[in-house]
Each structure stands twice: as structure tokens, then as C-alpha cells.
Structure 1
């Protein structure tokens, strides 16, 4: 079973004047902490509402040029036994990178395989629209620096006999 988990994070920001500035800084700060390891986590503004009247409020609270911003972090967890398992995995993965930031699971939704395929197709279409060159073949092979197809993710192996020109001089010495 695959689950989409939404976690709410309370991100502190410093030296801010407006809620918009606080939200931008919090999203940027969170993105830096999560990337490159968790670049598949989607970051969005959280939603807050008044407990008494139900009115929507800004996702940031500012006092004395310091703010606390509510962000929603969404990730898909694959091959889990149940929703509780998915929420523990998401909290652990995100929490390891966001030190001293409180997290709370606010939503766990079971995702069907078909939904994941549609999402992947949408993501591929967006990447193709942005790219100037055609997409790479989907067979796992990538072109190395010498133009040869590689199935090792583009990494050089010990049996590669060519060396980059800048480093040939160092080897000769």
C-alpha cells in the first residue's frame, strides 16, 4: 500500500516584518534543510483558523520581528503495511532533517497505483516542457562524459581508461 502523508511543521523565522516575508523565508529555509536528500517533499503554506469563530488566519504569527510559520510538508510513502506505518516513516524522514522543528501528522491518505502513474506522467510532461533537449531513454542508461551509454548512473568506474584533460597533467607528474 502507498500513502500520501501531510505533516505540519512550525518553522521559526527571525528578523521579519510581514507575514508574507516570514512565509517566503520559512519555505526557503525548509527547502534548504530538506534538499537534496528529500527533494520529493512538497512544501506549502499551512492553514490556520480561529478556534472560536472559524475564520481563516495567516499561516504566520509575528511578534517582535520574529515569526512562527505553519508549513505543510507532503510526501508519498511506498510499500507500507498501514497508514500508521506511513505516518511514522514520514515523520522520521522529515524530522531527521528539520532539527528542533515540531512536526505533527495532519493527514494520511491511501494512494492507488493509478494515481501515482498519473502524477508521474504529469511530472514528466512538465520536465519535457522545460527542457531544451529530448528526454533521456527510460532504460536506466545515461550518457557518460565520453558519450558512451552507461547503466551505472553516469558514474565512472575503474575500467574507464579516459581521464579528463585537466587531470592528465597531474597524473603525468
Structure 2
């Protein structure tokens, strides 16, 4: 089974003036830490909301020219037994490169197996080829007889 795992990271950024600047720096900083070993990890802005009213907040919390930015890191984990196994692998792989950055599993989604439909289509195609061959051969024999 293959799974898509989304991990939330709290990335500290220093000496910034705006939330947008903090997000850009956090994405760049995270990309530098992950690359080249984990260049397949997608980095997106995280989503935050007020715990009391549910209002959407910016992904960066800014105070005294320092910021804590919520990022979502998404990766695909292949050949796992369970969702928990995929979460442990993703957390370990990402956590080894993002030292001192807290991580939390946000979402684990099983990826449908694409091999099964392809095999079924291949079987149908072979059956169609066989039927076509049977139809062509008698006509070919008629041409030879003429």
C-alpha cells in the first residue's frame, strides 16, 4: 500500500518585518534543509485557525521581528503495511533533516493502486487483439483462393 502523508512543521524565522516575508523565508529555509535528499517533498503554506472562533489566520505568527511559520510538507511513502507505518517513515525522513523543528502528522491518505486497472485493461486489449486476428484470417484466406 502507498500513502500520501502531510506533516505540519513549525519553522522559526528571525529578523522579518511582515508575515509574507516570513513565509517566503520559511519555505526557502525548509527547501534548503530538505534538498537534495528529499527533493520530492512538496512544501506548502500551512493553514491556521483561531481555536476559539474558528477564524482563518495567516500561516505566520509574527512578534518582535521573529516569526513562527506553519508549513505543510507532503510526501508519498511506498510499500507500507498501515497508515501508522507511513506516518513513522515520513516523520523520520523529514525529521532527520529538519532538526529542532516540531512536526505533527496532519493527514494520511491511502493512494489507490493503479496497477490493477491497468492489468485489467491490458487483458481486455489482448482479448480484442485475439478476436481481431480471428476475423482477419478468414478474409485473408479468401484473397489467397482468388
Task: Describe the SS at the equivalent of 1:113.
Answer: coil
Aligned to 2:65: 65
Unaligned runs of 5+ residues in structure 2 are 116-146
Distance 1:102 1:74 in 2: 15
Distance 1:106 1:92 in 2: 15
Task: Describe the SS at the equivalent of 1:96.
Answer: helix
Task: Describe the SS at the equivalent of 1:25.
Answer: helix
Distance 1:82 1:62 in 2: 38
Aligned to 1:8: 8
Unaligned runs of 5+ residues in structure 1 are 116-173
Aligned to 1:28: 28
Distance 2:61 2:42 in 1: 22
TM-score (norm 2): 0.77
RMSD between aligned residues: 1.0
Distance 2:79 2:58 in 1: 36
Task: Describe the SS at the equivalent of 2:92.
Answer: helix
TM-score (norm 1): 0.65
Aligned to 2:111: 111
Aligned ranges for residues 15-164 of structure 1 at < 5 Å? 15-114=15-114
The structure whose Rg is larger is: 2
1:112 positional shift = 1.3
Distance 1:12 1:64 in 2: 13
- Count residues with an aligned counterpart: 115
